[in-house]
Structure 1
């Protein structure tokens, strides 16, 4: 019986590159998938594309492709490695062009296709209601992006067209992994049980190192070996969608029933109805069986018909955050930091800084859980941040923290200040037939 091998080369935009190269070289893979988009990531990419019409794709695309393309294409063994990735972000066509350029530079003859159709900004109507209660029209010129979560459709087109590398924009994370299973095993688009199982595989792999022990590690409670050489996961899948999650032999990390269970419940609101563009997956009966060291069988997933509407992630500008920080150390550090906080908050009031939200905290004392600590730390760092409509107002926040050097309590040092624009994200739903996924060369 045929076994399909799919590896996860990235779990987010800034992820490590070495584990992906390890998978490409030693994983005996059919497919290597790079999942690099978050909701805010694509809004930022759209913003970058406004500044540079040829930009807007993942900043690590070139380096990643340069490292793994030598392993892609027709291989001398029984497997042919192909790459699927959403690193196209806001500009899959330009990303595909960049991959072709790198392939030529490396002396490789590869077919690279882009999947487009997720950008639905021009389809939005002013009266459309977002999940935050605002309308699209109320955003005005602050609206910068609207990307629908595509499913497998465009990727299937590209794979059937014999692409070696498939570059997408906003595609649902599990769909990147489900599409090659559908192609290789010939699953129908309404074979809901198998699509549910294939979606489980995608969900387990989509965050890369999380399922192989990365985010799982907790010294003394959940120990993971050789975390500095964490190996990214791969799945061995049969034609019925049954899968074993594992990693390259000798790589760091850990694949266990516990790591898989933690990843299973990640971002899943209803295990019995996990909505994706391809299927309503049912994870409520999933169980994991350890078949050996770093080998876990995933079974029990099912599925029902897919939703009739697609989620759209809408990005918009929502003001500026001004921030300032200052450290205090030694005896009385907490008291001096508390006084510094009081001074800054009073100063912001006195000079009339226009703020919508403000946060003033002592990192190491109350920044996460409020004033709970009873132990006096030897050092503490003050952080004051505020959200403002105008950049000029946000600048004043960091400036006031910096003035503590000579106007605040003694012993302050290591001041820093910054201003950044807020790119906020909201969601709405569009009818499936309003979105047209397709491939471009």
Structure 2
């Protein structure tokens, strides 16, 4: 499994595809396939990944090119599509989730709309004797539920076993996060050898019971703490975890440490899947202009605060601010108050600080002016400033909506490489 999509990833990939019709899939695809294809083909291991992002078909072709480069005599790649529901979304005004607005409020700014496909979309590919399966947007746990359904013959309405499968997928979907990644806090929670952390494995039985482990000799840790942390990750209601395949119930899950780095998970169940699918929408939402400058040595904080004061006053002066007056902004000292505000950093006297000004702008020209204001501090600001950086980025925001399952038509295409191709 390569689970590589975050909420805004496809929208960003759609922008890349707009500039190049052959782009839009994960830029790490070829490197990862070069690393694993020979061993997986040799051992009969199927690779399943959502690295297709906004362009699964081009990703499938790229995998064939890697196979040619590696001299593999034969390869079959299944490309699963159907998650792109942008045409449907443009034709149907539906409410946005977590917002009083509807999709129509995004007219002219909508870049992408991708439904979270479920395991049912992947089953034809898993039954097609392929080496690699490439998808776009699929619900993260479904990448793991689908192989379990295919291998054990679980029915699409066996909600108890699918709930267990959902638990497996949820524990594994963030890779090394369940084997110690994102857990280390030296002196409080120690994780050994994170530089060579072991990626997790799940030993799953036909009834859905599972043991989570990792390869012997690798770094990290698999224990009750690491599994509990991952279990609760991004789950709002453990008794009602809405996913494409099943509504999971994790409220009775219990972890048992069978041996070092071997944890048994039991107690998951499920209810009938939701009638609708969640879709992630990406849309243009202006620009952020940013500038940073550093101050070090005695009085670094005072000089940094003076720099911030200068920047704030210039933003408030419409005659000086290049149209930036009144715009949403952040002006902060990284290492002092950027994360938790002024109160928690009030008593700190650091040896070095970094001033950061970021402004949400309507257009690129405004955003470029932000960094120019910070760079002007070299000669027009406090003593000893250095290391100015400027950046402008377009904001691609994410929203969610629900779509009927009838809006999604999943499709599986097979691409093949034969000896001599």
Q: How far 1:74 sits from its partner (Å)? A: 5.5
Question: Segments of 4+ in structure 1 off by > 4 A?
Answer: none
Q: Which residue of 1 aligns with 2:197?
A: 230
Q: Which residue of 2 aligns with 1:86?
A: 50
Cα distance in 2 for residues equivalent to 1:394 and 1:348: 13
Cα distance in 2 for residues equivalent to 1:169 and 1:269: 25
Match of 2:5 among 34, 37, 40: 37
Q: How far 1:330 sits from its partner (Å)? A: 1.0
Q: Deviations over 1:346-367 (max 9, x none)?
A: 1122224335310001111111
Q: Which residue of 1 aligns with 2:87?
A: 122
2:40 is the alignment partner of 1:72: yes
Answer yes or no: is the 8 Å Cα contact 1:87–1:168 preserved in 2: yes
Q: Which residue of 2 aligns with 1:102?
A: 66
Q: How far 1:126 sits from its partner (Å)? A: 5.6
Cα distance in 2 for residues equivalent to 1:182 and 1:438: 18
The TM-score normalised by the length of structure 2 is: 0.94
2:234 is the alignment partner of 1:261: no
Q: Which residue of 2 aligns with 1:28?
A: none
Cα distance in 2 for residues equivalent to 1:214 and 1:175: 22
1:213-362 paired onto structure 2 within 5 Å:
213-350=180-317, 351-352=320-321, 353-354=323-324, 356-362=327-333
Match of 2:133 among 161, 166, 169: 166
Instruction: Name the SS of the counterpart of 2:155 in structure 1.
Output: coil
Cα distance in 2 for residues equivalent to 1:85 and 1:320: 31
Q: Deviations over 1:87-140 (max 9, x none)?
A: 000011110111112112222212101000000000013632223333323322
2:362 is the alignment partner of 1:392: no
Cα distance in 2 for residues equivalent to 1:161 and 1:127: 37
Q: Deviations over 1:243-278 (max 9, x none)?
A: 110001101111111000000000000000111100
Q: Deviations over 1:148-177 (max 9, x none)?
A: 000012211101111211000000000001
Cα distance in 2 for residues equivalent to 1:301 and 1:266: 16
2:55 is the alignment partner of 1:112: no
Q: Which residue of 1 aligns with 2:391?
A: 418
Q: Which residue of 1 aligns with 2:341?
A: 370
Cα distance in 2 for residues equivalent to 1:349 and 1:142: 29
Unaligned runs of 5+ in 2: 415-421
Instruction: Name the SS of the counterpart of 1:72 in structure 2.
Output: helix
Name whichever of 54-63 and 368-377 sits farther off. Answer: 368-377
Answer yes or no: is the 8 Å Cα contact 1:126–1:135 preserved in 2: no
Distance 1:74 1:67, change over 3 A: closer
Match of 2:25 among 48, 57, 60: 57
Q: Deviations over 1:59-100 (max 9, x none)?
A: 00000001100012353xxxx311100000001111011111
Q: CA RMSD in A?
A: 1.1
Cα distance in 1 for residues equivalent to 2:330 and 2:104: 30
Instruction: Name the SS of the counterpart of 1:291 in structure 2.
Output: strand
The TM-score normalised by the length of structure 1 is: 0.90
Q: Which residue of 2 aligns with 1:9?
A: none
Cα distance in 1 for residues equivalent to 2:101 and 2:394: 20
Instruction: Name the SS of the counterpart of 1:96 in structure 2.
Output: helix
Q: Which residue of 2 aligns with 1:154?
A: 121
Instruction: Name the SS of the counterpart of 2:60 in structure 1.
Output: helix
Q: Deviations over 1:174-203 (max 9, x none)?
A: 000111000110000000000000110000
Answer yes or no: is the 8 Å Cα contact 1:348–1:400 preserved in 2: no
Cα distance in 1 for residues equivalent to 2:366 and 2:24: 29
Distance 1:74 1:376, change over 3 A: closer
Cα distance in 1 for residues equivalent to 2:63 and 2:199: 23
Answer yes or no: is the 8 Å Cα contact 1:348–1:397 preserved in 2: no
Number of equivalent positions: 405
Name whichever of 363-372 and 179-188 sits farther off. Answer: 363-372
Cα distance in 2 for residues equivalent to 1:257 and 1:397: 47
Cα distance in 1 for residues equivalent to 2:394 and 2:137: 23
Cα distance in 2 for residues equivalent to 1:403 and 1:303: 59
Answer yes or no: is the 8 Å Cα contact 1:324–1:384 preserved in 2: yes
Q: Which residue of 2 aligns with 1:136?
A: 103
Cα distance in 2 for residues equivalent to 1:46 and 1:39: 13
Q: Deviations over 1:198-244 (max 9, x none)?
A: 11000000001111101011111111111111111110111111111
Cα distance in 1 for residues equivalent to 2:351 and 2:41: 57
2:399 is the alignment partner of 1:435: no
Instruction: Name the SS of the counterpart of 2:93 in structure 1.
Output: coil
